[in-house]
Amino acid sequence: MPSPQSDSHRQRPRRQRARLAALLIPAAVLLVTAFTQISVPPASEGATLTTPKAIVLGVVEGVTEYLPISSTGHLLITEKILGIGETAADKDAADTYTVVIQIGAILAVLGIFRDRFLLMFKGITSKDEQGRSLILSLLLAFIPAVLIALLFQDPIKERLLAPWPVVGAWVVGALAIFAFVANNHRFIARFESVGTIPPKVALGIGCAQVLALWPGTSRSLVTILAAVLLGCSLRVAVEFSFLLGFLTLSAATGYELLKNGSTLLDTFGLMNPVIGILAAGVSAFVSVKWMITYLEKHPLTIFGGYRIAAAAVTAVLLATGTI
């Protein structure tokens, strides 16, 4: 049995890393801010994205991206509350900003699941069987949503990217969570590792991800529920959902940068987007670590309750003309 002294010895490096992170994160924010203030042109006159608003949106993105509560829905409502993107001058830039700050959430998952990314790297370089299987599964799960998004991007933006559809999606998602929790005892876990998910199951999870194109639904919600229904344990479902999110968000961010990156910089400058990315990264790291720990002992019920509350509050704000 290990002695308390040996446990303390093992915990010491963790404390040291935590202290180092606590020093490096604020230092990085200060350095980036100083650099951009000196060398980067400011945002265009009349732009509505101030530094405090950039931080708020970054935190909202990071906290909600991987929780089953919909980051797109939260960002849309938050933009309305903050008055961002309401003019033609910065609407496109605001839409691009909410996609680009996903870089922070992407990096958070890369750090937390670095062992899985190393496994996939070994699958490419040394023919590790589980690594190759995981790569194939993620690619198969990635394809359906990409195809549908490319085909129906404009109708989705015109008809679903609005507050009331988000409210509806929050409610529907909550009901799905409650139904899932009530019947959780019926689901049998056959896959206890992301590296053992077969291609058919991965493709099924990918088809479910298409539902997340309805803003407010939550990509993580539909992929987690689909994975459990198709035989994954909840732990594996959450892990696969996060890894799939890394791939999906990376593709969406890269596409948006190529398409509207110059508009973003011309309208908002560089400083506020970079600060938003940093805020999203830190908050996403904390959010993902919390969710993984929480779901080890608790069901998804809390997220269903939150979605109902968010829908109710937003409906009141819309009905009263507050937003």
**Domain extents for the chain?**
52-319
pLDDT of residue 158: 86
pLDDT per position as a tens digit, 36-50: 343 444 455 455 789
DSSP helix/strand/coil, 165: helix
Q: What is the mean pLDDT of residues 55-75?
A: 95
pTM: predicted TM-score of the whole model, two decimal places: 0.84
Exposed (0-12), middle (13-18) or buried (19+): which is 96, by Cβ within 10 Å?
A: buried
Q: How many CB atoms lie within 10 A of CB 83?
A: 11
pLDDT of residue 301: 96
Distances (CA, A) of 148 to 66, 142, 187, 207, 208: 21, 11, 29, 10, 12
pLDDT per position as a tens digit, 198-232: 999 999 999 999 999 999 999 999 999 999 999 99
